[in-house]
Amino acid sequence: MQEQIAKKIKIFYEKSIALKNVVILLPLCYYIKMSFIEFDNVSYTYAIDSDREVKAVKNLSLSIEEGDFVALVGHNGSGKSTVAKLMNGLLVPQSGVITVDGVNTTDKKRLFDVRKNVGVVFQNPDNQMVATIIEDDVAFGPENLGYPPEEIRQRVDWALKSVNMYEYREGSPFRLSGGQKQRVAIAGVLAIKPRVMVLDESTSMLDPVGKKEIMDIVYKLNKQEKMTVVMITHFMDEAAMADKIFVMEDGELVRGGGREVLSDPILAKCGLGYPPAVEIANKLRSGGMQVGDVYTTDELVEEICRLL
């Protein structure tokens, strides 16, 4: 029922943008409590040649609330990276509607509002750096938004401190390890102070140490700073840290829900496999042990300790 009302109001909202009559609608949107990020029946097609195209995202509907820790999983080519780019208006859907905090991402005039709210950290840290000095690179976002120099300085210092890279601020990014570089990239996004951070396979080029560094920071941001995190990955151990999991295959959302998705057989069907803890728990169960629902290694350890 509520969903239907939401949909109707959204249609009205779309029309009212044309009428420039947003004032009445903002309170209404809050009243029915729209999700922070909403995908409604979104499709996106890449044109490779004039006659060849790839449907990267097909009729995708999902919603992400503020404060969520979401994992979007799927194997290569499942369209999950396209979703990241759709979330902050780098790409706009050919059909369907995406709203971020009530703003349609196709609204060119408010594009910066969308991008201020949703920051994306990409896969390759080398391809995200703009400047040759770390603090200059972190300052890039706030500089673009036209903040006064003192505020940019504050934001840069805060962002670098929250990724533990403050002492490197005057150095060059090229001597850093992959994990450190990616932390700088995260700081660059943090300095914009977005409400949602999207990590588009941001750990896939890192070694295990670098991966852990990034995951710790992301976890801390979500739990302490209450930042919404959307983690796009094909590593199930990373996905196990999330509270909400969406599984994509071939451009479609095949499963979405709480952590129980992590032990859903659909994962195996999508070629993803289970998180290591789930796998071990399954083996233990087949061996006759009464293991409860566990998803992360820490949980598994605790569960086994409880049983012993």
Partner 1 sequence: MRDVSMGQYYPTKSPVHKMDARAKLVFVILYIVMLFLVPSLDNYLGGGGRLGEYMVKSGLSFGVVTLFLLVAIIFSKVPLMKVLKSVKAVVYLVIITAVIMLLFYSGKANHVYATWGIITISLEGIVSAIVMAVRLFLLVMGPALLSLTTTPVELTDGIESLLSPLKLIKIPVHDIAIIMSIALRLIPTMIEETDKITNAQKARLAEFDDGNVFKKAKAMIPVLVPLLTSSFRRADELAYAMDSRCYGGAKNRTRMRVMRLSYRDAIALVVIAAVFFAVLTFVYDYFGVATFISEWAYTLL
Binding stretches for partner 1 (CB under 8 A): 85, 88, 90, 112, 115-116, 119-120, 122, 124, 126-133, 135-136, 139-149, 152-153, 156, 172, 174-175, 188-189, 192
How far, in Å, CA of 193 to CA of 214, rounded? 18
Nearer to partner 1, 68 or 137 (CB): 137
Residue among 52 and 175 whose Cβ is closer to partner 1: 175
Nearer to partner 1 by C-beta: 171 or 276? 171
Shortest Å distance, C-beta 5 to partner 1: 33
Closest approach, Cβ 135 to partner 1, in A, equals 8
d(CA 286, CA 283): 5
Structure tokens at 206: 């890192």
Q: Nearest distance from residue 111's CB to partner 1, in Å? A: 9
Q: Which pair of tokens denotes residue 164?
A: 């533990």
**Is-contact 274 240, C-beta < 8 A?**
no
Least distance to partner 1, CB of residue 48, Å: 14
Nearest to 201 by CA among 13, 75, 12, 88: 75
Distance between CA atoms of residues 209 and 183, nearest Å:
12
Q: What is the DSSP letter of 68?
A: -
Q: Which is nearer to partner 1, 6 or 163 (CB)?
A: 163
Task: Judge whether 57 and 251 are in contact, CB under 8 Å.
Answer: yes
Rounded least distance, CB 128 to partner 1, Å: 4
Indicate the residue among 195 and 259 with the shorter CB distance to partner 1: 195
